Amino acid sequence: MTGQPSVRRRLLGAALRKYRENVGYGIEEAARVLDCDRSKISRIETGQRGITAQRLRELLTEYGVPAPEQEALVALAYYGHEDGWWRSYRDVLSEAGADLVLLEASATEILSFHAQVIPDLLQTEDYARALADADPGYADEQERALAVKAKLIRQAIVLGERRAHLEVVLAEGAVRQLVGGPEVMRRQLRRLANLGTRDGVSVGDVTVQVLPFAAGAHSAAGAAAMTVLRFGDIPGLGIVHLGGLHGGASLDSPADVSRHARAFALLRDTALPPQDSVQLLREMARALPRR
């Protein structure tokens, strides 16, 4: 672990500071609410220390925060913290990767662009396995199997249990790259097509669009993968995750979130509409050679 606060704590602390300032409270007044010293409030607001769910609700209630926003912030701070399933996968999840797992599990909206591969949350097991086999970062067969299983658990939580709103724009290169061979890719393309029509009862609200080669230059031309995560209906509360070989990196300033959200909106407008994307995916699946 580094000495830096986690992204979740930074987000929560920034939100608490904003709510406090909105009602005109100083740090001393917030400290009186929790019957603590002002340094504790300061450390909470800078993400240097956590806060219990009960104390968090006390502060939010004092600040007049509506119940839906309170629930979103409590989920951000604590969802997945209790069961800690991800701890069993620390060998295959970097620190940044573990942070992303917890963030996406508490997000209510996920906007994701990928230029090279299908995103983790939409991969079939065979496709995920093919990627793991090609990744030199895993030490052995056991780590590759753990990496695949971790993806499947994430899918079950985010799309099944939490039923997050997920919008994905895939560059055409991501769906043309032949990962795992024709049969693996055929099943992957069909899964994307089925998700795009929202006919799967086991997943949340998912939209898939393809950005064709013919679209030319676009708003995320310099990014291989980017994901914007939002939490409830809280303006300005969000995170941007940029993919990388070792878990990627997260940006949490409102300006970064706003900039990347605008870029995604432009991508969505440039990409094929959902139904046209479904048709293309099905055509690509049928065109793949059979054994």
pLDDT of residue 83: 62
Which residues 6+ apart lie within 8 Å of 34 measured at CB? 40, 41, 55, 58, 59
Reading phi first (left if > 0) and then psi (alpha if -120 to 50, else beta), residue 24 is in: left
What is the C-alpha to C-alpha distance for residues 142 and 235, in angstroms, rounded to an integer? 42
Quote helix, strand, coil % in the chain, to nearest 5.
Answer: 55, 10, 35
CA end-to-end distance (rounded Å), the chain: 48
Q: Where are any strands of DSSP class E within the chain?
A: 109-114, 165-171, 206-211, 225-230, 238-242, 249-251
Domains of the chain, by residue range, sit at 7-78, 88-287
* Helix (H/G/I), strand (E/B), else coil: 102: helix
Cβ distance 48 to 5 under 8 Å? yes
Taking residue 279's Cβ as centre, other Cβ atoms within 10 Å add up to 15
Class of domain 7-78: mainly alpha
* List of the chain residues with pLDDT < 50: 1-2, 198-203
Q: In CATH, which of 3.30.870, 2.60.40, 1.10.287, 3.40.190 is domain 88-287?
A: 3.30.870
The confidence score (pLDDT) of residue 55 equals 93
What's the confidence (pLDDT) of residue 84?
A: 77
What's the pLDDT at 2?
45
Contacts of 155 (CB under 8 A, 6+ apart): 120, 121, 122, 123
Confidence at residue 82, expressed as pLDDT on a 0 to 100 scale:
57
